[in-house]
């Protein structure tokens, strides 16, 4: 399971890397609309949740909904840890 998770996250990270580099700060220019890069990054987020959901589904031997919910929970928890560590370091 860990090999599949790390491998899929590495591959999706390599796909997302050029998009993140080309989109340094979307809020700096005051544009409130979604651009092509933001839509592509959102699509990669959804794709990431589906891929991780399939890995969790096969690991937990359950249906696809449970797998995607587990992937969504993982994403939310890792985002909360990331934000809390950044706020702790910034103080």
Give residues with Cβ within 8 angstroms of 63, minimum separation 6. 57
What per-residue confidence (pLDDT) applies to 39? 86
**Mean pLDDT (whole number) for 40-66:** 91
Enter the pTM of the model.
0.77
Is the model's pLDDT at 31 over the cut of 70? Answer: no
- Residue range of the domain that includes 64: 2-25+32-90
How many domains, the chain?
A: 1
**Mean pLDDT (whole number) for 50-73:** 92
Query: With contact defined as beta carbons under 8 Å apart, do 81 and 70 qualify?
Result: no
């Amino acid at each position: 399971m860990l090999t599949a998770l790390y491998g899929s996250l590495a591959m999706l990270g390599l796909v997302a890397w050029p998009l993140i580099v080309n989109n340094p700060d979307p809020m700096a220019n005051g544009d409130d609309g979604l651009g092509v890069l933001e839509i592509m990054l959102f699509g990669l987020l959804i794709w990431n949740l589906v891929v991780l959901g399939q890995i969790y589904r096969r690991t937990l031997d359950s249906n696809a909904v449970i797998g995607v919910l587990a992937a969504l929970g993982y994403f939310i928890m890792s985002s909360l840890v990331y934000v809390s560590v950044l706020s702790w370091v910034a103080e």
